[in-house]
Amino acid sequence: MRAALAGVGLCLGLFLGAALPVSAQQMGVIQSDVLVIDPERMLLESDYGKRLQAEIQAERDGLIAYNEKVAQELEAEEQRLTALRSTTPANEFRALADAFDQRVEELRLESERLSRELERRREMIPIQFMRVVQPVLSELLTEANAMVMIDVRTVMLHTSASDVTELAVQRINAKIGAGPLAPEQSAPSRD
């Protein structure tokens, strides 16, 4: 009788012990103390990350188009000044040329300011992204009963099972999608 109870207990123990990993697999999260994640891949592959990158690219393209338009206008104005040189008194021409030079310098400084502002925004994208997706990553950490989630770039060796990047991208897409609409940002103004 004891042998039968021990056998049932062993079978029950094996059954219950085997049920835990199956449950963890059903959730899609490995059970581990340490998880590895690739933030760059999350940014590149998630809908939200793609949207943020597309917005910056659109702003960059807009700034390039604006700079090209200004360059064309300045070139036309320079040609107009060159045509006036022979028919305009020297002191008047000098005033026109100085005004043109001042305008060119102001536009150059403005273009540099807009470029720096756009670069600062581009550099902030990973930080903004991680702030928004942090609750999703925290949820993964909890589901895995993990103590820590480590950036894959700081890990020498790891098993692919500990890398939850793919799952994180899926969850980010499901829970955040293209992401929250940002409050009125200080987008570079080209007026």
Q: What are phi and psi of 43, to 5 degrees?
A: -65, -40
Listed residue (82, 75, 113) closest to 96, CA to CA: 82
Domain boundaries, the chain: 31-175
pTM for the predicted model, two decimal places: 0.69
pLDDT in tens, 4-36: 433 433 333 333 344 344 333 444 567 878 899
Identify the pLDDT of residue 180: 81
- Rounded CA-CA distance 137/71 in Å is 46
